[in-house]
Amino acid sequence: MPEARDTLLAALKAEGSAVVALSGGVDSATLAVLSHLALGERSLAVTGVSASLSRHQQGLVESVLRAHPMPHEWLATDELASADYRRNGADRCFHCKNELYGLLREVADARGFAAVLDGTNAGDVGDIRPGRRAAALHGVRSPFLEAGIGKAAVRTLARELGLPVAEEPASACLASRVPGTIQIDAGVLNQVEAGEEALRELGFSAFRVRHHGDLARIELPPGEIARALGTEVGGHLAERLLGLGYRRVAVDLRGYRPAGLATPFDPDRDLAFLPASAGG
């Protein structure tokens, strides 16, 4: 996509300097690399680090930096200090992004960077994204969105740039696995992260561990559900997740859905409880 790439590089160069939010996903990684190509040392990629950023996501950031070395900093954020964030209401993402974007704006202003940029793309506009309100509040720009570039085009650009995250599945923060009836704390986020790491180690291609108190509801691609329910894998999964403090572990037979947390489920119809999992 030479035309799209050239258009973006020209737009980024026109900014003069920029701080780019780098989460490790394909959108933010592609933007950070393009910004560095356009601006060189006047582009700074920054990754917010908190309990809601998994170690896997941090590893993705590191892989991008190995593939394309560029100025980068880790920035501690503390959204968990906000009672509004911990409450886990419909505006949770606003409070998280408000913390991150506020700190990025402080970095930009203190060091003389003209713009703060994020990787929101044109395909994101139909989603409910309270974080966009935080972006507007802090003057954060979204070059992909402004250029009308969606996810498929971003992935093409990432492949052309040789980024190791070009095919990485979309992944929201760990708090997105927790329904609004349950408050967010570091312990809950650690449970979710450890559960998903178990699924990653077993080679599943896409997954979520939805946290429903003492129930871990696992979402997997439909073609991978049977493997998870097999005696060996299912027993291992149950052991790992029960060891994290869950009392019940189940696979959602409807399969993985990015908005699966918002979809009501019937435990008797939709869930298959794993071996040794109480309450099945």
- Rounded CA separation 89/83 (Å): 10
Cβ atoms 31, 119 nearer than 8 A: yes
- Sheet with 43-49, side-by-side order of all strands: 72-76, 43-49, 18-21, 115-117, 140-141
**Burial zone of 122 (CB within 10 Å; 0-12 exposed, 13-18 middle, 19+ buried):** middle
Q: What pLDDT is stored for residue 277 in this prediction?
A: 55
Q: Return the closest-CA partner of residue 104 out of 91, 94, 92, 114.
A: 114
Burial of 213-244, coded b for 16+ CB within 10 Å and e otherwise, reads eebbbbbbeeebbeebbeeebbebbbebbbeb
Coil/strand/helix, residue 139:
coil
- Rounded CA separation 245/132 (Å): 35
Q: What pLDDT is stored for residue 280 in this prediction?
A: 45
Q: What pLDDT is stored for residue 129 in this prediction?
A: 73
- Rounded CA separation 70/64 (Å): 9
Q: What pLDDT is stored for residue 123 in this prediction?
A: 87
Structure tokens at 87: 């409450």
Structure tokens at 236: 């291992």
Q: What pLDDT is stored for residue 1 in this prediction?
A: 65
**Single-letter code of the amino acid located at 191:** Q
* pLDDT, one tens digit for every residue, the chain (280 residues): 678 899 999 999 999 999 999 999 999 999 999 999 999 999 999 999 999 999 999 999 999 999 999 999 999 999 999 999 999 999 999 999 999 999 999 999 999 999 999 999 998 876 657 788 999 999 999 999 999 999 999 999 999 999 999 999 887 899 999 999 999 999 999 999 999 999 999 999 999 999 999 999 999 999 999 999 999 999 999 999 999 999 999 999 999 987 778 788 999 999 999 976 545 4
**Single-letter code of the amino acid located at 166:** A
**DSSP labels for 227-280?**
HHHSHHHHHHHHHHHHTTT-SEEEEETT---TTGGGS---HHHHEEEPTT-TT-
